[in-house]
Amino acid sequence: MNPSILCPRLNGLAFHVVILSLGWGGLSLGSHAQRPGGPPQGPGSDRMEALRIAYITEELALTPEESQVFWPLQRAFDAKILESRNGLQSMQRQGLSGEMSPGEVEKLLEDMTKLRKQMVDDEADHLKAVIELLGAERGFKMTTIQREMASKIRETLGSSRGASAPQDHRQRGPRQGLSGPKRRLTPLMQ
């Protein structure tokens, strides 16, 4: 991936200077790490993480001092959200695994609701901490930056695969032909 796609204002040399300064500033890029609950990271994911750091650092105009506080805070939040998402996926798989009694369905839905509420609370706490560090304008800008970055990545990946334009999965409609055993609806699910 071309660094200028995510960071158009950074040329090749400036991009590497930013990445090196982030590394020297005590920020670990996790080159030999594994995301909690996730697959091992390879060279491509290290590069993607470096681009993500450079993009967010540039867009938020983080000073070296702010970076030293912001990135550990952001990494802790990312790990917490990843863990919660993995928990939700596990619960969803449990729900799709077969017949469940009405009590089991009720408990599973209750657990999923609690976890989703906790994720919202975690996001609010993180946003408060970022606003406290960077101020309201840059703190609230963080969510926009992440959305823009994800959009640029999707566009880049779509064009590199020969797609004519980025596709929105919501326009496709429901998935057809779900595989797996037919499940009987319990009275609670009807």
Task: Specify the pLDDT at position 8.
Answer: 52
Give just the sign of the alpha carbon dihedral 148, 122, 52, 47: negative
Who has greater pLDDT, 113 or 24? Answer: 113
Q: How far apart are CA 142 and CA 130, in angstroms?
A: 9
Q: Across residues 126-144, what is the average pLDDT? A: 94
- Pairwise CA distance, residues 94 & 17, whole Å: 47
pLDDT (mean) for 123-133: 95
Q: Is 180 left (phi over 0), alpha (psi -120 to 50) or beta?
A: left
Q: Tell whether the model's pLDDT for residue 58 goes beyond 60.
A: yes
pLDDT higher at 135 or 164: 135
In the prediction, which pLDDT does 146 show? 87
pLDDT at 30 over 50: no
The CA angle 48-50-54, to the nearest 5 degrees, is 115
- pLDDT score of 114: 96
Query: Cβ-count burial of 81 within 10 angstroms (0-12 exposed, 13-18 middle, 19+ buried)?
Result: middle
Within a 13 Å sphere around the CA of 59, how many CA atoms are in the beta-carbon half? Answer: 21
Of the two residues 45 and 42, the one the predictor is more confident about is: 45
Non-local (6+) Cβ contacts of 167 within 8 A are 158
Q: Give the span between the Cα atoms of 34 and 86, in whole angstroms.
A: 14
pLDDT category at 155 given cuts 50, 70, 90 is confident
Cβ atoms < 10 Å from Cβ of 78: 14
pLDDT (average), residues 21-35: 37
Task: Indicate if the pLDDT at residue 32 is higher than 80.
Answer: no
Reported pTM: 0.60
| Three-state DSSP state, 40 | strand
Residue 51 confidence class, pLDDT cut points 50, 70, 90: confident
Max mean pLDDT range (73-77, 140-144, 160-164): 73-77
pLDDT at 156 (0 to 100): 81
